[in-house]
Amino acid sequence: MRRRAIVIVLDGVGAGEAPDAADYGDAGSNSLANTARAVDGLNLPHLAALGLGRITDIQGVPPELHVRGACGRCVPRSAGKDTVPGHWELMGCIVNKPFPTYPDGFPSEIIDAFRLRTGRGILANKPASGTVVIQEYGAEHLRSGDLIVYTSADSVFQIAAHEGIVPLEELYSACAAAREILTGEHAVGRVIARPFVGDATKGFTRTGNRRDYALEPTSPTLLDKLKGSGREVLAVGKIEDIFSLRGITRSNHTPDNQSSCDAMLEFLHEDFDGLLFVNLIEFDMIHGHRRDPRGYADALETFDQRLPEIEARLREDDLVIIGADHGVDPTFKGTDHTREHIPLLAFGPGIDKPIELGVRQTYADVASTLAEMFNLEPFPTGASFLGEL
């Protein structure tokens, strides 16, 4: 039987501090609730109708009585609070050991090897905000051609370069070289290309030509199992980067939420058998890290407005799951991700009543549910909620 599952990741949309949030310095974080409070309420009628207001207390999003979907939230089980372990866990791969981080910058053996491979000098080499570091070092980069290398509290090696100084293909090659260097004890979760444009007078702006070079998942994921069974795995946004292309049959590497929603709708025109896996990046990349609650709220409300279009493309047996990969509370201290539960909303034409899924003990419950839906071998972690739908 042909079935379609659609998983939509609202990147960085957390639903309240995780039980171990204090260990990460994130006690009190709640991306949804704190954003709503900061902007005097959110207007999310379609998400409310799916049960969002039942998950956590969100100003402006009441716990609707006539919900037509299943709702709950999931506890993170993987170590860390980054994009890669969050997405991997959703697809059944648990990360037990946190990826390395570099609060003092990268050691000389890494930087020297990278300089040798690229033939370019290095600027910065420190934790920094991506929008701030290009303003700080952009003029020197234009003069010298040296690459701007920086990190954050997450396990990332980020390389910023002006598109007029370092062609995109050279920047991507530099990222691939860094990915080869960063192995063993220095196996960071992601190497990220951060191209930008502009000048020292008017300032510098990042472009949409970002690319992520992630580690390969450390155990089989739902994507591997689906592809191995002959089904389609359609990826939208940075999904293909996060999984290093593994388990994916086709992709559309869209740069923002609107184009990702457009690509999702195009794929939903097709009679595929398998998974459509979508990442909506703007909550995290544009608004969360910049601690911009108004922009974060606007992005949530814009997505909410597109839900009727998505629902109109669904077929009788389709199942849609909306979740996240971590939090990035735009009202919180610092600029980094926050260790939070993620929202869990499941809906489709066959679900016409409210279903309480409660607090799930791992994001991997999503993978276990879809494995059961597609009659695949179950995962060792995660509990399916398919029988409750």
pLDDT of residue 66: 86
User: 159 has which bridge partners?
Assistant: 149, 193
Is the separation of the CB atoms in 95 and 88 below 8 Å? yes
Q: Positive or negative CA dihedral for 267, 43, 49, 287?
A: positive
Q: Collapsing DSSP states into helix, strand and coil, what is residue 4?
A: strand
pTM of the model: 0.92
**pLDDT confidence tier of residue 154, bands split at 50, 70 and 90:** confident
Taking residues 140-149, report their average pLDDT.
Answer: 98
Q: Are 254 and 234 in contact (CB under 8 A)?
A: no
Is the confidence at residue 67, as pLDDT, over 70? Answer: yes
* 251-271 residue pLDDT tens: 999 999 999 999 999 999 999
Closest among 388, 364, 316, 335 to 94, alpha carbons compared = 364
Model confidence at 2: pLDDT above 80:
no
Q: Under a CB-based contact definition with an 8 Å cutoff, are residues 329 and 30 in contact?
A: yes
- E strand or H helix that includes residue 322: strand 319-323
Where along the chain do its domains lie? 4-97+216-388, 108-213
C-alpha pair distances (Å), 246 with each of 130, 177, 216, 254, 302: 28, 19, 7, 18, 31
pLDDT at 64: 83
Closest CA to 95 of 107, 83, 108: 83
* Check whether domain 4-97+216-388 has CATH 3.40.720.10, yes or no: yes
The rounded percent of the chain whose pLDDT value lies above 70 is: 100
Mean pLDDT of 132-158: 96
Q: What is the pLDDT of residue 199?
A: 96
Give 381's contacts (C-beta < 8 A, 6+ positions apart): 77, 92, 94, 362, 364, 368
CATH number, span 108-213: 3.30.70.1250
- Cβ contacts of residue 329 below 8 Å, gap of 6+? 14, 26, 29, 30, 31, 34, 35, 288, 338, 340
353 token code pair = 């009543």
- Report the pLDDT value the prediction gives residue 219, as an integer from 0 to 100: 96
Residue 365 phi/psi, 5-degree rounding, is -60, -30
Q: How confident is the model at residue 1 (pLDDT cuts 50, 70, 90)?
A: low
**pLDDT at residue number 136:** 97
Tokens for 211, please give them.
């690319």
What mean pLDDT value characterizes the chain? 96
Average pLDDT over residues 188-200: 96
Which residues does 143 contact at the CB level (< 8 Å), separation at least 6?
Answer: none
Q: Which two tokens stand for residue 275?
A: 């998974």
In angstroms, rounded to a whole number, what is the distance separating the alpha carbons of residues 124 and 147?
Answer: 9
Which tokens belong to 161?
A: 């370069």
Tally the C-alpha atoms within 13 A of residue 211's C-alpha that lie toward its C-beta: 16
- Decide: 363 and 89 in contact? Cβ < 8 Å: yes
Name the maximum alpha-carbon separation found in the chain: 62
The answer to whether the CB of 16 falls within 8 A of the CB of 73 is yes
Question: Distance between CA atoms of 240 and 219, rounded to whole angstroms?
Answer: 16
pLDDT of 329 over the 90 cut? yes
Sheet holding 250-252, edge to edge: 250-252, 232-236, 274-280, 4-10, 319-323, 342-347, 70-74, 355-360
Copy the structure tokens of residue 97. Answer: 């050991």
CA–CA gap between residue 196 and residue 210 (Å, rounded): 9
Residue-wise pLDDT tens digits, 88-117: 999 999 999 999 999 999 999 999 999 999
